[in-house]
Structure 1
Amino acid sequence: MKLVEVDKVLYRQRLNRVIAVFIGSLALLSLFFGQVLISIFGNVEIQSGESTGNLHLNFLGVLIGFALCAGALYQQRHRDYFKEIYYVSRLKALQNRIYRKLKAIKLGADKDSHDALIILNFYFASLKLVYLLDDNTLTLNNVDTELEAIKQRMTSLELSITEQDFDVELLNRF
């Protein structure tokens, strides 16, 4: 995966719309399927002040609504409207993969491993990109510090590594 520039305004605007439509659709579909399931399988004898016993049917309605919303979102992921959202979600998933191996990668970087330095450079550069997109300014200074330390390490080793040198296959070595 390569780092690409993402239009922050467009990304945030589209992400907010997708989230709002997803939540609205989930609410409506959950209510609809909950009511349909209750009307078909629910307890018809309701006594005042007692539980109806239909909680499991309402929960099943939420699950069905969620499955439909998630499936619809999954099918739309390659459309132009979702390009930035899908790219950032894939980037976050890749960051999670790197994070799970971060201890071993940092040990490799301490031993001046070229592959480890490539991964760390990509990881911190991608974190910076995502943090800027999500307005996560609390930990941005830490990321900048780590990224600068990696770049200084590469300079001291006379390596010219860029974020574009990263390949997912490098993770298999750690």
Structure 2
Amino acid sequence: MQLMKVDKARYRQRLNVVLVSLVASLTLLSLGFGTVLIEFFGNKTVASGESTGHFHLNLLGVILAVLTCSLVMNFYKKHEYLKEIYWVWKLKQLHNRIYRKLAKIKLAARDNDPDALTVLLFYLTTQKQVFELDNNTLTLATLQADISAIESKLADLNLEITTADFSENLLEKF
């Protein structure tokens, strides 16, 4: 996965539009599906003060709404409007994969393994980018110090490694 320059203002604005649209769609579709299901399959006679017994139909309406929204998002994920959002989402998934192996990667990096150093440099650099995009500035100083330490180690070892050298195949080693 290659790094991508992301315009923070545009990313935040588009992400907010997508999130609000998803919440509104889920709400309206859940209500709509639930209403239609109750109309066709619901109990027509309801005693005053008792449960309608439509919980399962409403739940099915919510499930159908989630499925519908998921299918629509999957269909449009490659659209230009969602390009940056989708890239950040995939990057966060990759961060999760790396994080699960981070202890082994750090051990190998201490032993000057070039693959581990490559993964670590990519992980920290892209994590910094995501934190800046999401306005998560609490740990940026620590993250920058970690990046500087890796870059310093690479210079000491005379290794020319950049984030462009990263490949997901490197994770298979750990």
Q: TM-score range by the shorter chain?
A: over 0.9
Match of 1:51?
A: 51
Q: Tell me which stretches of 4 or more aligned residues in structure 1 moved more than 2 Å.
A: none
Q: Distance in 2 between matches of 1:145 and 1:55?
A: 53
Which range is displaced more, 144-153 or 126-135?
A: 144-153
Secondary structure of 1:138's aligned partner = coil
Match of 1:99?
A: 99
Q: Distance in 2 between matches of 1:142 and 1:117?
A: 18
Q: 1:39 offset after TM fit, Å? A: 1.1
1:74-153 aligned at under 5 Å gives the runs 74-153=74-153
Q: Distance in 2 between matches of 1:91 and 1:136?
A: 16
Which range is displaced more, 152-161 or 66-75?
A: 152-161
Match of 1:63?
A: 63
Secondary structure of 1:2's aligned partner = coil
Which range is displaced more, 104-113 or 38-47?
A: 38-47
The residue type paired with residue 48 of structure 1 is S
Tell me the TM-score normalized by structure 2. Answer: 0.97
What count of residue pairs does the alignment treat as equivalent?
Answer: 174
Deviations 1:128-163 (A, max 9, x none): 000000000112222112212211211221212111
Q: Distance in 1 between matches of 2:14 and 2:133?
A: 12
Q: 1:113 offset after TM fit, Å? A: 0.2
CA RMSD across the alignment: 0.9
The residue type paired with residue 139 of structure 2 is T
Q: 1:111 offset after TM fit, Å? A: 0.8
Q: Distance in 2 between matches of 1:57 and 1:142?
A: 50
The residue type paired with residue 39 of structure 1 is E
Tell me the TM-score normalized by structure 1. Answer: 0.97
Q: Distance in 2 between matches of 1:36 and 1:115?
A: 56
* Unpaired segments ≥5 residues, structure 1: none
Q: 1:9 offset after TM fit, Å? A: 0.8
Which range is displaced more, 137-146 or 27-36?
A: 137-146
Q: Distance in 1 between matches of 2:152 and 2:47?
A: 73
Deviations 1:35-79 (A, max 9, x none): 111111112221122111111110110110111011101100111
* Unpaired segments ≥5 residues, structure 2: none
The residue type paired with residue 168 of structure 1 is E
Match of 1:16?
A: 16
